[in-house]
Structure 1
Amino acid sequence: MALLEQASDDSDRAYISNMLGWVKNDQGQYEEAVAFYEQSLKINQKTLPEDHPSLATTYNNVAQVYKDMGDYSRALAFYEQSLKIFEKALPSNHPDLATSYNNIGEVYSRMGDYAKAREFYEKSHKIFEKTLPPNHPHLATSYINIGGVYSNMGDYSKAREFYEKSRKIYEKALPSDHPSLAISYINIGRVYRDMSDYSKALEFYEKSHKIFEKTLPPNHPDLATSYSNIGGVYRDMGDYSKALEFYEKSHKIYDKALPSNHPSLAVSHLNFAACYEKMGDYTTALKVLKNAYQIQQTAFEEGNPAFASTYSMFGRVYRNMKDYSKSLDYFQKCLTIFQRTLPERHPNQAITYSNIGDVHRLMGDYEQAISFHQKALNIQESVQCNPLECATTYINLGETYRQMKDYTTALTYYEKGLEIREKKLPKSHPDLAVVYHSLAKLYLSTRQYNMA
């Protein structure tokens, strides 16, 4: 790099390396970002005392990139080095210490260790409560972080409580079109989406979107994310053509605004793939999935948590295409990542167990199918998770027992799954039709023709 060659001394070289790292991270070129940040770190380690605040900042920068790469153990290690310096150098109520606790909380949250995440978020929050006025935006952000942990734990009412606290502060402290208020609306919208209250989810996502339309240029990535959020709600409602319309708007912006290997473009392709899968267009879903995977391969190292959802979708598409060996292979790859990066009883592992169980059912291996579905239920019935995920496992078990001609047990599981879906989904949702169809087949098998 010409800039580095022109640097007059170590201090300049450290600064330029740091700036280049920031640019590369912003472009999604994480490997190069880490290289520049670590170059800056090595220079600073030679020239500064080991507890110098500038070193803490550099540790933070390196940690940030590893977090974006999904390498959470390394991110945590660097954030902890930064925290050690701050704890020595700063008073116990210093805002930088709160930020440091917050960063560590975020990594634990991404690792699925929600108890640890909440512990660090609350440490951060206590500092903000002591040092800031009650309507300060930093307090609102802190409420959002704690709300996010409760949301990930499936405690949506608690999550909404914290998100509403955040919203009240933002509405008092900020102009009505401030981007932070838009983020607050997004969080509340997401909780309503997780609770399957789709009309409320759309209401808050659209509030957020209006702010972005007023305040951002038309090709800003945040506007793309907003379109994607709205598309996601329509997808959950089973309105796939409407979902595709919003995903298309989102993708056009990403395509113009981001480098071709940016992870957000991969997520955009995954959104399309999920829609095409639900529509039964598996050939197109597979094509789009491969686009997402190619981007992720250039952006991340193999085994990165970002691959898990891609592998899971490959598994589902190949299952629907009746290529069961490929399907099992991809679900197993997904499970391997989850087992390495998430707690043992994380809801994402349960979903994968249920997916693997369903492939075994389709292959006629009912014993294995029941075993994997039971593994899923052991998690889903003992931790808070999205009820619709539990419903899918019940329905998968119902289908397995129906094919084994154990109609009484099958009916029990179908009814459990149907009860949840009827509560959570719109009456016209395709996933309800699937259960009604399965129940009809069961009643025909038991000659209860009036029920079918």
Structure 2
Amino acid sequence: MSVCPTNFDEKVECSFVDRKEFIEAFENTFQNIGQKNYSILVYYGVAGIGKTSLRKKLPTLLEKHNKSNQPTRVIWTSIDFATEQYRQPYKFFEILSSQLHQKYGIKFNSFDIALATYLKKINPHSPLVKENYSKDSIVRDVLDICDEFVPVNLIPNVYSLAKSLPERYQKWALKRKEDISKLPDFEPTEIYERLPVYLAHDLADYLQNTSESAVIFIDTYEALWEKERDKGSFNSRDEWFRKLIENIQKSCLWVICGKESLRWEEVDEDWKNYLDQRKIGKLPEKDALDLLKQCGIIEKDIQNILIESSEGVPYYLELSIDIYRKIKQKEQPTPRNFAKVPEGIFCRFAKYLDREEKETLKVLSVPRYWNRELFKILIEKFNTGYPATSFSELHRFSFMDVDEEGKCSMHQLMRKSLQDYQDPDLKKEVHNFMLDFYSNQLKDLDIKAITQENENALTEAFYHAKESLEAEKLCEWFISVSDPFYRAALWQLITPMYEEILRILEAELGPQHPNVATTLNNLALLYKSTGEYEKALPLFQMALAIREKILDPQNPDIASTLNDLAELYRMMGRYDKAFPLYQKIFDIYEQMLSPQNPEVAMALNDLALLYSEMGNYDKALSLYQRTLEIVEKVMGSQHQYVATVLDNLALLYSQMGCYDKALPLYQRALDINEKVLGPQHPDIATILNNLAGLYHYMGEYEKSLQLYQRTLEIIEKSQGSQHPYFATTLNNIGGLYASMENYERSLQHYQRALDIREKVLGSQHPNVATTLNNIGLLYNNVGYYEKSLPFYQRALKILEDSLGPEHPEVAATLNNLAIFYSNIGKYEEALPLFERAVDIIEKKLGLNHPYFVQSMSNLISASGNLVNEWSQYYSFYGIIYFDTDNKIF
């Protein structure tokens, strides 16, 4: 630690003193990099003990090493978790890779591709802008040859893509293509969890190729647990950091500074072999004396009182040196000028400050960071009297820090002392000003162009808002300013803020307040957006319970939460839970509104959608027809909502086998939406997917394939490759390839769809059963009968449990399972399955449905024992189930 304040007299220089044992520990560990799998040196101790100053000293030893003509270079960088954004894993990885690239030209190709894919998945509406990437970034080079970064198209063929890129990428692509090619199949949370692995691979490749070593310094490590100590296990907060270390073996030294020792052995005892943890205690008296001499304090009586009063804590010793220099500018210091205990040192320091210095420091203690521009604004706004031209002089105090980018901050102990010292009204006034300052940077944001500066502004505005606003105002303010970030899919940024607001509201307003319900609902929407359905569910339920208790039964907020909860249940495949909620919404709207109100039409549409998914097509048909009548009358024949209902109705006709009725409705819906929304809107993809399915049913495979491929491109751009709709289209393309007898490509698409669905929807969702059924049928068609059986059995169990025993999809799986038994000669087991399938299809779909004809042919074949003869000329009709996209308003 310096124990060396920056001088007011430029001619006097103080060198770093003390901490020899800690410097020697670093030198020994550094010299032995590579002897162990991991090298981790930890310095810990109380605030002000000198950890940060030590961390700033150690890199000078590395620079000295590099200048001494050693055979291998050492690369290094430093990150301080005092900056709140750096505590988010992907921001930490981003800044770490950026620093190493800027300083040493290291390429992070795998990480850049992975991070770009993650950002594209969570924010599919926003194109990646090549100007945001360095000139030699692989993402920028990809954007130079492609209109957009679309992972589903680019990454599976990364080696082929590399051939179109500069030659430097080809070696990387050859080594890492298998890892990278899996990215489109991962959901965003999985990519997020793997980011440290991709970064580690890139850094490890560089170190291996150059035979260099790396040293990474981390400061204020304890900040990872700020406001989070009671959430989850203690060691879960830095799990991502351990994963990074685990994937860079031997050639990297990690130097971590924090208030406490690490407890990683609680996770794995093997960490004891790699952690060298050293507590930084009080500054030895001899070293303190050496420092005072080097800083020009030679009076023995003053030396003695400064050493005694600082109690070996460098922060207090440095502050005492600042006091000495302030006094000496006017007179000769004496022992009476100095406090005898640490608590009194600040008061003595404040006593010798000029009024202008004192007022300026009080104001600067409120913001966490500032730069020269904000410094000027603050001293003018609060009329501190300090000259803006003396910016550098004020920042020479030992407790001030200015980084390479000009961002200034104040030691946490000095901030606390100044805030305790000043008038609370002034502190709140500065908080209010800073809130307005940052809030102004959040106005009129374009969700497609949100920058890092915007994210920083939200983070700092939120910090000041907590100090400025009462709980209700805080809630209202945050809902407003965070909305663009929600729509831009920056959910990782705002989720912890919503979690904190919820704690504040519950503590200050009570758990039954309307704002608590609003925050619960919004937080649940965030969890739903990130696919965390199980976390979202209890929050929606709590929000609904509060609203039903404190609001009128017909209040629109109740209907809103009911709708959110019903949609979540529907997405989870829990139709038995969704149905009564949709019915309740419909009842509320009918009582509040006229039968021709658009809100009633929306409720009818949602209810019809659920009936359709549950296989009750007659009920769904009457509701869709009623919906269409209302929206055409109220909104006009060319409205977007009309297209939605037309698409849903066409889909229903398609499921009922009425293809001639479905086709013109699809075409009309497509024409409307392309005029209203443009050709790349997600609603266009919905219609294209459903229309492609219709052409498939009708045997027009080439038309179908073209539409499916266009659907994939739109969904990838707008919603990401882990969205359930993306899996829907993959499943359908798999079915199309099966019909075209391209079984290898069919299986590839089915497997990708299955992987996404199981990860996003859970293993018991009906859509999972759909793909299982189709994989089983595929294996059956290519003669791998035994492989098909477990897929059919699992699909049947899921469908019967979720949809009931008489759903058409149950009939499809029964039909296919019966085919399996027929193909292996077990007709007595096949016959009752065929009979049951025919009964269901006749009852649910009618005698004229194509599935009825297929199932009857299978039943006649099985019951007549003609299978062996027929199999020479015919195949049993396996029913492939295609997925379709209904739209909710």
Q: Specify the code of the residue in structure 2 equivalent to 1:62.
A: F
Residue in 1 that maps onto 2:388: none
| Displacement after TM superposition at 1:149 (Å) | 4.8
| 1:384-438 per-position Cα deviation (integer Å, ceiling 9, x unaligned) | 5682222221111111111112111111322232232233222321111110011
| 1:319-364 per-position Cα deviation (integer Å, ceiling 9, x unaligned) | 0111101100110111121132222222222211111111111110
Contact 1:14 1:39 in 2 (8 A): no
Residue in 2 that maps onto 1:395: 815
Q: Structure 1 residues 156-165 or 104-113, which shifts more?
A: 104-113
| 1:291-339 per-position Cα deviation (integer Å, ceiling 9, x unaligned) | 2122223334444433101100100000011110110011011112113
User: The residue matched to 2:746 in structure 1 has which SS?
Assistant: helix
| Structure 1 Cα separation of the partners of residues 670 and 663 of structure 2 | 10
| Structure 1 Cα separation of the partners of residues 753 and 771 of structure 2 | 7
| 1:62 to 2:510 alignment | no
| 1:421 to 2:841 alignment | yes
Contact 1:112 1:343 in 2 (8 A): no
Q: Structure 1 residues 296-305 or 412-421, which shifts more?
A: 296-305
| Displacement after TM superposition at 1:108 (Å) | 5.8
| Structure 2 Cα separation of the partners of residues 439 and 38 of structure 1 | 64
Query: How many residues are paired up?
Result: 422
Which of the numbers 666, 680, 691 marks the counterpart of 1:272? Answer: 691
| 1:372 to 2:791 alignment | yes
| 1:15 to 2:443 alignment | yes
| Structure 1 Cα separation of the partners of residues 840 and 536 of structure 2 | 30
> What are the within-5 Å matches in structure 2 for residues 187-206 of structure 1?
187-206=606-625
Residue in 1 that maps onto 2:214: none
| 1:409 to 2:829 alignment | yes
| 1:436 to 2:856 alignment | yes
Contact 1:56 1:83 in 2 (8 A): no
Which of the numbers 130, 139, 156 marks the counterpart of 2:558? Answer: 139
| Displacement after TM superposition at 1:122 (Å) | 1.9
Q: Specify the code of the residue in structure 1 equivalent to 2:865.
A: S
User: The residue matched to 1:289 in structure 2 has which SS?
Assistant: helix
Q: Specify the code of the residue in structure 1 equivalent to 2:716.
A: Q
Contact 1:15 1:40 in 2 (8 A): no
Q: Compared with structure 1, are the counterparts of its residues 364 and 180 closer, same or farther at alpha carbon in structure 2 (3 Å cutoff)? A: same
| Structure 2 Cα separation of the partners of residues 388 and 87 of structure 1 | 47
Identity among equivalent positions (%) equals: 28
> What are the within-5 Å matches in structure 2 for residues 17-416 of structure 1?
17=445, 20-21=446-447, 32=448, 35-36=449-450, 39-49=453-463, 51=466, 52-53=474-475, 54-55=477-478, 57-59=480-482, 61-66=484-489, 75=491, 78-79=494-495, 81-89=497-505, 91=509, 92-106=511-525, 117-149=536-568, 151=570, 156=575, 159-384=578-803, 387-416=807-836
TM-score normalized with structure 2 length: 0.44
Q: Compared with structure 1, are the counterparts of its residues 118 and 279 closer, same or farther at alpha carbon in structure 2 (3 Å cutoff)? A: same
Q: Compared with structure 1, are the counterparts of its residues 144 and 170 closer, same or farther at alpha carbon in structure 2 (3 Å cutoff)? A: same
Q: Compared with structure 1, are the counterparts of its residues 111 and 350 closer, same or farther at alpha carbon in structure 2 (3 Å cutoff)? A: farther
User: The residue matched to 1:391 in structure 2 has which SS?
Assistant: helix
| Structure 2 Cα separation of the partners of residues 79 and 60 of structure 1 | 12
Residue in 1 that maps onto 2:397: none
Contact 1:60 1:79 in 2 (8 A): no
| 1:1-48 per-position Cα deviation (integer Å, ceiling 9, x unaligned) | 9xxxxxx9643331122xx22xxxxxxxxxx2xx52865332122244
Q: Compared with structure 1, are the counterparts of its residues 114 and 408 closer, same or farther at alpha carbon in structure 2 (3 Å cutoff)? A: farther
Q: Compared with structure 1, are the counterparts of its residues 239 and 132 closer, same or farther at alpha carbon in structure 2 (3 Å cutoff)? A: same
| 1:242-271 per-position Cα deviation (integer Å, ceiling 9, x unaligned) | 111111111011110113221111111101
| Displacement after TM superposition at 1:205 (Å) | 1.4
Q: Structure 1 residues 360-369 or 214-223, which shifts more?
A: 214-223
Q: Compared with structure 1, are the counterparts of its residues 284 and 37 closer, same or farther at alpha carbon in structure 2 (3 Å cutoff)? A: same
| Displacement after TM superposition at 1:157 (Å) | 6.0
| Displacement after TM superposition at 1:101 (Å) | 2.6
- Highest RCO, 1 vs 2 (Cα 8 Å, sep ≥ 6): 2
Contact 2:628 2:645 in 1 (8 A): yes
Q: Compared with structure 1, are the counterparts of its residues 62 and 133 closer, same or farther at alpha carbon in structure 2 (3 Å cutoff)? A: same
| Displacement after TM superposition at 1:218 (Å) | 3.9
Q: Structure 1 residues 117-126 or 287-296, which shifts more?
A: 117-126
| Structure 1 Cα separation of the partners of residues 811 and 767 of structure 2 | 14
| 1:196-219 per-position Cα deviation (integer Å, ceiling 9, x unaligned) | 332321221122222222332543
TM-score normalized with structure 1 length: 0.83
Q: Compared with structure 1, are the counterparts of its residues 304 and 237 closer, same or farther at alpha carbon in structure 2 (3 Å cutoff)? A: closer
Q: Compared with structure 1, are the counterparts of its residues 236 and 39 closer, same or farther at alpha carbon in structure 2 (3 Å cutoff)? A: farther
Q: Structure 1 residues 48-57 or 338-347, which shifts more?
A: 48-57
| Displacement after TM superposition at 1:240 (Å) | 0.9
Contact 1:111 1:342 in 2 (8 A): no
Contact 1:112 1:346 in 2 (8 A): no
Q: Compared with structure 1, are the counterparts of its residues 250 and 80 closer, same or farther at alpha carbon in structure 2 (3 Å cutoff)? A: farther
Q: Structure 1 residues 141-150 or 220-229, which shifts more?
A: 141-150
Structure 1: runs of 5+ lacking an equivalent:
2-7, 22-31, 67-73
User: The residue matched to 2:444 in structure 1 has which SS?
Assistant: helix
| Displacement after TM superposition at 1:109 (Å) | 5.9
Residue in 2 that maps onto 1:26: none
Contact 2:601 2:631 in 1 (8 A): yes
Which structure has the highest strand share of the two?
2
Contact 2:776 2:789 in 1 (8 A): yes
| Structure 2 Cα separation of the partners of residues 397 and 204 of structure 1 | 34
Q: Compared with structure 1, are the counterparts of its residues 160 and 349 closer, same or farther at alpha carbon in structure 2 (3 Å cutoff)? A: closer
User: The residue matched to 1:445 in structure 2 has which SS?
Assistant: coil
**Bigger radius of gyration among the two:** 2
Report the aligned-residue RMSD.
3.0
Which structure has the highest helix share of the two?
1
| Structure 2 Cα separation of the partners of residues 292 and 164 of structure 1 | 32
